[in-house]
Amino acid sequence: MRHIFLAAAAFLSLSSIGQSALAADAPYIDDRSSADAVIRSLYSAINRHEFARAWGYFGDTKPAKDFNAFVKGYDGTDTVDVKTGAVSDEGAAGSIYYSVPVAIQATDKKGEARVFAGCYTVRQVNAQIQEPPFQPIFIDKGALKPSTEDFDSAVPASCGDGPPPPKKDEALEQAKKAFLATYGGQCDKQDPDGKPIGEPEVHSIHYKDKDAQAADPERETRLFRFFCSMAAYNETAVYYVADDVNGVTQLQFTEPDLDIRYENNNSEGKVESIHIIGFKTSGWATNSDYDENTKTITTSDKWRGVGDASSSGTYLFRNGDFSLVQYDVDASYDGEMNPQTIIDYNTAP
């Protein structure tokens, strides 16, 4: 690949996009509604070998000395992927100038990819002061240089004097990726509001360790609740927590393993005894809710239907983690609610 000039400054030229049979399969994007949309449209045209359309996104200052040189500049390149960053703008003399951070990944016909990054300036002239022919938003100038960054992280934080983009919420992004990777294929595709799953409820829990001194700062644990699935009576959710020690981890819910005995071995009959024979953990929380005032997660698993057999747990946050402090079981299938508390570290003696 070699460098070419876009406008008066030095611009990166890609070695060219050859006449690949896949060109027509590239998405057709012709969108001048925003500055970053213009850049995506430019590379859509390049990927589809529609070089006249690509040429048309530039204003009077063109990216090469003539159209033939522009087309020839793309010999040898198969595809170009593009990412854009946070756009900044500045008004001046009847125009708005937009600075668009850009990274591209150019892949040649041998399959070798190179990454370039830089900035484009896109200009929008006030339509109310124009005379025919109308000039839509266009690329004024820009420059890309080879980058040693991976394509996913190569987009510049900002261009010129533009403000940097908001800092990413790394913990939130990690939790979302972990949830979708683990449960994306198991959970419903949409939440009860019809939105795609993967956007959690987020809570911040501030606390001090039990051995902390009065002058010690508070610590923070963040709680992410992801909707997973809904059935007739039960809704399941998955929780992740994040702190400065362990990073992002999935919250596991401790549950007692129960030996329930019924009169005459008839599960529809009277409950004779409930014994805890061990403990297990689950990554699912059923009909759960987090209470910020009490710092507790409560669960309620309906075994058969509303107002019938069920189990419920209360998990209290203390010293940086959630622990089971109460577990109630209604093991009788009698159509009534009569739970028994079988674990209780939640009630004062």
Per-residue pLDDT of 163-199, as tens digits, reads 565 677 899 999 999 999 999 999 999 998 888 899 9
Domains and CATH numbers, the chain: 3-153 (3.10.450), 170-344 (no CATH)
DSSP 139-178: EEEEEEEE--S-GGG-S-S--TTPPPPPPP-HHHHHHHHH
Strand partners, 261: 273
Residue 153 and residue 166: Cα distance in Å, rounded? 15
Mean pLDDT of 318-328: 95
pTM of the model: 0.58
Which residue has tokens 């600075």? 99
Amino acid present at 236: T
Per-residue model confidence (pLDDT) at position 23: 52
Confidence of residue 9 (pLDDT cuts 50, 70, 90): very low
Per-residue model confidence (pLDDT) at position 341: 96
Per-residue model confidence (pLDDT) at position 16: 38
Tell me what percent of the residues of the chain surpass a pLDDT of 90: 63
Per-residue model confidence (pLDDT) at position 1: 38
Which residue has tokens 């080879």? 146
Residue 56 and residue 124: Cα distance in Å, rounded? 15
Residue 6 has pLDDT above 60, yes or no: no
Per-residue model confidence (pLDDT) at position 335: 81
Per-residue model confidence (pLDDT) at position 290: 98
Per-residue model confidence (pLDDT) at position 161: 64
User: How is residue 41 written in tokens?
Assistant: 């449209």
Per-residue model confidence (pLDDT) at position 347: 80
Minimum mean pLDDT among 1-15, 242-256, 334-348: which range?
Answer: 1-15
Mean pLDDT of 25-29: 85
Per-residue model confidence (pLDDT) at position 22: 47
Per-residue model confidence (pLDDT) at position 348: 66
Q: Are 223 and 243 in contact (CB under 8 A)?
A: no
Per-residue model confidence (pLDDT) at position 342: 96
Per-residue model confidence (pLDDT) at position 166: 60
Mean pLDDT estimate for the chain:
88
Confidence of residue 11 (pLDDT cuts 50, 70, 90): very low
Please tell me whether residue 180 adopts helix, strand or coil conformation: helix
φ, ψ of residue 283 to 5 degrees: the values are: -85, -5
Residue 253 has pLDDT above 90, yes or no: yes
Tell me what percent of the residues of the chain surpass a pLDDT of 70: 90
Strands 289-291 and 296-302: antiparallel
Q: DSSP character for 43?
A: H
Residue 349 has pLDDT above 70, yes or no: no
User: How is residue 299 written in tokens?
Assistant: 């669960």
Q: Give tens-digit pLDDT for 194-232.
A: 888 999 999 999 999 888 888 889 999 999 999 999 998
Q: Give tens-digit pLDDT for 43-94.
A: 999 999 899 999 999 999 998 999 999 998 888 888 899 999 888 888 877 8
Confidence of residue 151 (pLDDT cuts 50, 70, 90): very high
Residue 62 has a CB neighbour count (10 Å cut-off) of: 16
